[in-house]
Every structure is written in structure tokens, then in C-alpha cells.
Amino acid sequence: MTRKFFVGGNWKMNGDKKSLGELIQTLNGATVDQNVVEVVCGAPSIYLDFVRSKLDAKFGVAAQNCYKVPKGAYTGEISPVMIKDCGVHWVILGHSERRHVFGESDELIGQKTAHALENGLGVIACIGEKLDEREGGITEKVVFSQTKVIADNVKDWSKVVLAYEPVWAIGTGKTASPQQAQEVHEKLREWLKTNVSEAVANSVRIIYGGSVTGATCKELASQKDVDGFLVGGASLKPEFIDIIHAKA
């Protein structure tokens, strides 16, 4: 089965209307073969409406987080209903910064995933181990545990992209070697085959995140089980276009 390459840009808490407007102009001028690659940009929630209105339709837009209920007394949160009302169809959930800076539990991330999917959003679900977990030899234990909680909350896998992001390689300039990335992706696919189904294991896109750049993307993209990227800092630069074309 051919899995369409997927490149997500996570802009995090960066940019303003001026700088994001300039970035959008650059992206809009890029050639993107939508038969080859799906591209989704994760904008700060306050700019979702602005970005969706300015960014060419060949790009999707994602919120960087959402809550587990449609509305209510949850100051500072946004819901899938609000996200969709801005014309946005994706959300990033379980990012390591949500887990480790803001203390989100596996259980909460699972509940958010279920609610987002029930409300028609596509979910970029993030998993990944910290440096001490990698060095302690428990990478598989950690990522399988995180994946299980997500899997328990998914009915339709066609709306899910799984993003493996080794926490030790995010924002550090360190990148997992193509072989390290492939090894974890392959094991994740085996886990899905055993615990979900062979069809899901073959069809779900598992993307890599962790200091992906224009220089590292082609070799990473050549790995059998690496179906794309979730890109941090480089997604705010013109080299994001090189990353989009990594599979070309």
C-alpha cells in the first residue's frame, strides 16, 4: 500500500501577522504536488482564522491543541467545534511540550483524541521518549504505552497521523539517525499490526519529528517506514519547501 507522504509544520508559539504573512506568501508561491505530499501547517490558535484565510488551499491548517469537550467554563482552551468554525481540519495532540511542559497525561491526550475525531478533525498524535528513557533502554516501552492510549480512543484510523518525536531531538539540534528513526517506526508498525490490525498498520502514516531540516530530510524520507515529518523551527523558514519536496 502506498502511503501519501505527510509534512506537518508546527509553528509553536512563534510569529505575528507580519512574519507569518511573509511566510505564507513564500509557501503560496511553492509548487506542491498534492498527489505526492499532504502539507499541514500548525498555527498558534489566535492566528488560525488569519492563516486559513491567507494560506493557499493546497495546504491544510492545524490547531496545536484542543480540549476534550465542545464548550464550557475552561478558560484559555479551544474546542474542535471552534477549530472547524475557522475552516481548520487538523489538530496536533500529545506533543512533548504539552506532555512535559504543561503536564498533560496520556489519559487526557487519549480523551482529546477521541473528542477531536468524533468532531471530524484529523489528528496528528505525537509520541516519543525522553533522553533518560532512550539511554535506559525503554524507548519501546514508552512509545508503545503512549500509542496504546491513543489507539484505545481511535475508531477511524484514516483520520490519524502518528508522529514519533524523540524528545531528546526536539529543539536540540540533535536528530535521530535515519536508522534510529526507521527502527522505531518499524516497531510501531509491528505494534499496530499486533494490537490494532494489519490493515491499519499498513495504511497509517507514521511521521518523524525532531530537528528535521533541509539537510537531513532526504535521507530520513528514504527510510521504508518514515512517511513524512512534523517540522518545528525549520517550518518557519524557506527551507520548509525543501522538506516538503524531500520525497520528490
How is residue 117 written as a grid cell?
475525531
Vertex 109 angle, CA 7 and 227, to 5° = 20
Q: In which domain, by residue range, is 207 found? A: 5-244
Q: Tell me, what's the pLDDT at 152?
A: 98
E strand intervals along 102-231:
122-127, 160-164, 205-209, 228-231
* pLDDT surpassing 70 at residue 1: no
Q: Tell me, what's the pLDDT at 172?
A: 80
Question: 126 with 94: CB under 8 angstroms?
Answer: yes
Task: Summarize the confidence of residues 68-93 as an average pLDDT.
Answer: 98
Scored b (16 or more CB within 10 A) or e, 21-39 reads eebbeebeebebeeeebbb
Q: Which of 95, 115, 185, 245 is catalytic?
A: 95
224 vs 116: CA distance, rounded Å: 29
* pLDDT surpassing 80 at residue 204: yes
95 is catalytic: yes
111 vs 99: CA distance, rounded Å: 14
How is residue 97 written as a grid cell?
511540550
Question: 245 with 22: CB under 8 angstroms?
Answer: no
How many folded domains does the chain comprise?
A: 1
Segment 102-145, tens digit of pLDDT = 999 999 999 999 999 999 999 999 999 999 999 999 999 999 99
3-state secondary structure of 198: helix
3-state helix, strand, coil in the chain (%, to 5): 45, 15, 40
Task: Summarize the confidence of residues 209-217 as an average pLDDT.
Answer: 93
Q: Which of 129, 133, 165, 245 is catalytic?
A: 165
104 is catalytic: no
Reported residue count of the chain is 248
Segment 12-68, tens digit of pLDDT = 999 999 999 999 999 999 999 999 999 999 999 999 999 999 999 999 999 999 999
183 CB-near residues (< 8 Å, 6+ apart):
none
CATH of the domain at 110: 3.20.20.70
